[in-house]
Amino acid sequence: MPEVIFAGPDGRIEGRYQPGKVENAPIAIILHPHPQFGGTMNNQIVYDLYYMFLKRNFAVLRFNFRGVGRSQGVFDHGTGELSDAAAALDWLQTFNPDARSCWIAGFSFGAWIGMQLLMRRPEIDGFISIAPPANLYDFAFLAPCPSSGMIINGTQDAVVPPDSVKGLVDRLKTQKGIVIDHEMIEGANHFFENKIDDLIGRVAAYVDMRQKALGANAA
């Protein structure tokens, strides 16, 4: 799990990167929860997502947003963090110019940043949005959402009420040309305490399904 340092828009960014083990490996970046509430690239869900993608022969990168860990800069309420995510994807693509697919996964605040990056980068084929904070941030920029993906949340989430996530999903599902898979984990809170294995299992099954379909379409 090599440590990497790369240039970001506000100084160095600290990350962990593993290259793919196959030619033209797909790539994925993982975005962590809110920096001001303890979110880092070592969050358990971020860590487990990283290894889930790695086991599927992705080249995968997780990193700390500005002001977290050894990443330079200060919290910028999403604007700077979106620039950090774009820089991370640029860095990943530099080492994987022929990647056969590109994914982004984010948890909570990271899900919000990931969906914004999705709008700016047409090469992203799929997304995983875990507990997207639809009650706290405006997701109206998803008009239209450019890629199919998975949104997953818990039924007992007190931070992001399930109804707010359902409202986001319902809006996205009216759009043509994309498919939004929405799953809810019974009894899970915002941090998926005692439910992380279930969460990662469902995400893994979705990624497997999509990668199989992307492979078939490329054949």
Distance, CA of 31 to CA of 45 (rounded, Å): 10
State the pLDDT at residue 113: 98
pTM beyond 0.85, yes or no: yes
- In tens, the pLDDT along 3-29 reads 999 999 999 999 999 999 999 999 999
Q: Which residues contact 191 (CB under 8 A, 6 or more apart)?
A: 45
Distance, CA of 141 to CA of 157 (rounded, Å): 24
| Best CA proximity match to 101, nearest among 126, 74, 76 | 126
- In tens, the pLDDT along 168-218 reads 999 999 999 999 999 999 999 999 999 999 999 999 999 999 999 877 555
Domains of the chain with CATH codes:
3-218 (3.40.50.1820)
Question: Which helix (H) or strand (E) is 185 found in, with range?
Answer: strand 180-185
